[in-house]
Amino acid sequence: MQFKALANKQVIISFISVIWLSMPGYAQEPLTSESKKEISPTEPLVCTAVASHQRQVDALLGLMQQRLLLMHDVARWKWNSQSPIEDSVREQELLNSLENQAVKFGLDRQTLRTFFQAQIDAGKLIQTADFQRWQAQGATKFADVPDLKLILRPALDRLSNQLLETLAKLSPIKDCLDVQQLIRCRAEVILRGNGVDEMVRNQSLAPLLKVEPKI
């Protein structure tokens, strides 16, 4: 009997509570953005949106790495032919040709030129380091070196076109803070080894990174 009376009492209390909450004078406080944030257990992290961009970042950095590694063969050819590392005429022709494709890929002309100038300069750092090492070693001519005009330059041109396409895809989001952090992080993994040291990496990356303010 006592159990039945207690149960009836709980039902009456619950019924009164429902009526009270439905009265016009009583209204629950609406959820604000802050209250929603407090009760949301599955709020996405800021970096979640960046995960889908890693493939684009990796693709661009991978192509940059391929171009840098080709510089060893370019250096061998120049060493064998006793040609200077610097070829300003060829360099300007290449930059002008690439700059003329900016509109086609929806890129700013100066941005495009600055990016490829950095790739060329990074490549010259690798060639210079090779020359200095070979001079110290007293190296002679290398065998089985790919021809610069017939093989290496066409390969570099193909890479340039791929770099253009990939840079155009990444460009709209490149300056986002999370993507900037992603570029820095993935560069440490991809742009490295076989002559690609910190100096080369920094030179190659410079146009992609916004200058961080000094605190």
pLDDT digits (tens, 9 = 90+) for 87-134: 999 999 999 999 999 999 999 999 999 999 999 999 999 999 999 999
Work out the average pLDDT over 17-29: 40
pLDDT at 20: 37
Number of domains forming the structure of the chain? 1
Any domain includes 8: no
Work out the average pLDDT over 5-21: 42
Q: Where are the alpha helices (DSSP H) in the chain?
A: 2-21, 33-39, 54-81, 88-99, 109-137, 153-170, 177-190, 198-205
Any domain includes 85: yes
**CA gap 135, 196 in Å, rounded:** 19
pLDDT tens-digit series, residues 149-208: 999 999 999 999 999 999 999 999 999 999 999 999 999 999 999 999 999 999 999 999
pLDDT tens-digit series, residues 28-85: 333 333 333 343 333 333 444 567 799 999 999 999 999 999 999 999 999 999 999 9
Any domain includes 55: yes
Any domain includes 122: yes
Sign of the dihedral defined by the CA atoms of residues 175, 176, 177, 183, in that order: negative
Instruction: Give the structural domain span for 135.
Output: 48-206
pLDDT surpasses 70 at 1: no
Q: How many CA atoms lie within 13 A of 79 on its CB side?
A: 24
pLDDT at 81: 97
pLDDT at 52: 76
**At 158, which amino acid appears?**
R
Any domain includes 10: no
Any domain includes 9: no
- Partnered with residue 196 across adjacent β-strands are 193
Any domain includes 52: yes
Any domain includes 124: yes
Q: Residue 192 sits in a domain of what CATH number?
A: 1.20.59.10
